[in-house]
Amino acid sequence: MKLWGGRFEKTTDTLVDDFHSSITFDQRLYREDITGSIAHARMLGSQGIIPPEDAQAIIEGLQGILRDIEEGHVTFRLDAEDIHMNIEQLLTERIGEAGKRLHTGRSRNDQVALDARLYVRRIARESCGMLLELCDVLLHLAAQHTRSFMPGYTHLQRAQPVTLAHHLLAYLEMFLRDADRMLLTGDHANVCPLGSGALAGTTYPLDRRMVARELGFADITHNSLDGVSDRDFILDYLYSASVAMMHLSRFCEELILWNSHEFRFVIMDDAYSTGSSIMPQKKNPDMAELTRGKTGRVYGDLMGLLATMKGLPLAYNKDMQEDKEALFDARDTLTKALSVFTPMLSTCTFDTRRMAACAAGGFTNATDAADYLVKKGLPFRDAHAVIGRMVLECEQQGLAILDLTLEQLRTYSSLFEADVFDACSIAQCVSQRSVEGGPAPRQTEEAIRLGQDRVAALRTRMSQ
């Protein structure tokens, strides 16, 4: 008989058991469930709600179940529905009547909310740690390439010269935000709902704050209805994972382009590439493509739970069981993506000569040529028109701006002097962009130093 079966005259259909059960996926919450139950039992004994000896028997029984699960000695039962009922049944089978007292003053509604919060709190820090490992790789690579020139793009058209370090540090900013967002997600989950009961609390004199302290929560929930029906913290994780995957996907898109023969900016390591079953010359960036593809999957997890939650009245509804698979899938997908992407990036070989050659082409110094004229006294709009006409005629002749002689340049404007060739060199174009946040090597080196400090600060927050 099911633990809740006293009111029923018939057993549930086997198809219902299969449809209703969540043990096939929520069994991964076993540690959180047992940890929460131990804290609950200790509080029940401390408050005199159950005999202290029963509380101790429950705690020791749960500790034994935890060991057996981790050693692979436990088989979960489908007819026990979920991880919560499976563990309670195992406990009662092992210690007898005392096990039946564990659920005193508790509902599965606040129990599952507790387990989910413990899980999200843990995986948010786990994800943050993996993101910071990626940040370490980016900082290491950036430090090697502060003077590796490359074209920056808008609309996938060569725009202005930057450095590879500056480009990599743009992704550092994204992943630092992702890591910070994960820590905030953990903070939002760090509130204890146990004591909310099914929806209206309980008549037992529970010490909710004792349980919260033992489990390391910063606070307790302050409304029992919200305590059992809130899944915002799961949505927070799904959103954070979605944004992190989006940033990975954007980076992957660039690596895929850069790996092509048309760009030839990067060579992917053999360990993170695959071949073709028919074309022997192929070396495909499949890991980057898979990461890009799996991003949509995590988006689906977020949108699915948003759709599930949007029409639910207070308090708990069975629809909310759908939160687990979305959460587990998003966590697994992000974890796998980061575990492959980080070493893939660290083993990439960048063709800095090819990058520099491309930076020198495509008129990436056109803005600097216009700025040169502005500094000589020409209004910017007039300078823009002069250089635009020059670019058009150079394109027609297959020339770059600095391929022109000084005499040819002066046919466009008498303001050109011999110093234009230094002012419009790629190295000078980059080094002159020395505003904070700019690509000049001096600013990039400072950004790397600050980035290292920011990573260290996030690690400190993560450990607290």
User: DSSP string covering 39-71, please?
Assistant: HHHHHHHHTTSS-HHHHHHHHHHHHHHHHHHHT
* Distance (Å, whole) CA 307 – CA 319: 11
Marked catalytic residue, from 40, 107, 127, 276 = 276
β-bridge mates for residue 162, sequence order: 150
DSSP character at residue 158: E
Please say whether the beta carbons of 164 and 183 come within 8 A. Answer: no
Q: Could you tell me where the beta strands, DSSP code E, fall in 230-279?
A: 266-267
Marked catalytic residue, from 155, 222, 261, 463 = 155
Distance set, CA 201 to CA 69, 138, 197, 366 (Å): 31, 49, 5, 69
**Is 46 part of the annotated catalytic residue set?**
no
* Distance (Å, whole) CA 171 – CA 138: 8
**Is 155 part of the annotated catalytic residue set?**
yes
CA-angle at 112, arms to 56 and 228, nearest 5°: 115
* Distance (Å, whole) CA 67 – CA 26: 18
Closest CA to 145 of 265, 247, 248, 262: 265
What is the identity of the amino acid at 129?
Answer: G
- Residues designated catalytic: 155, 276
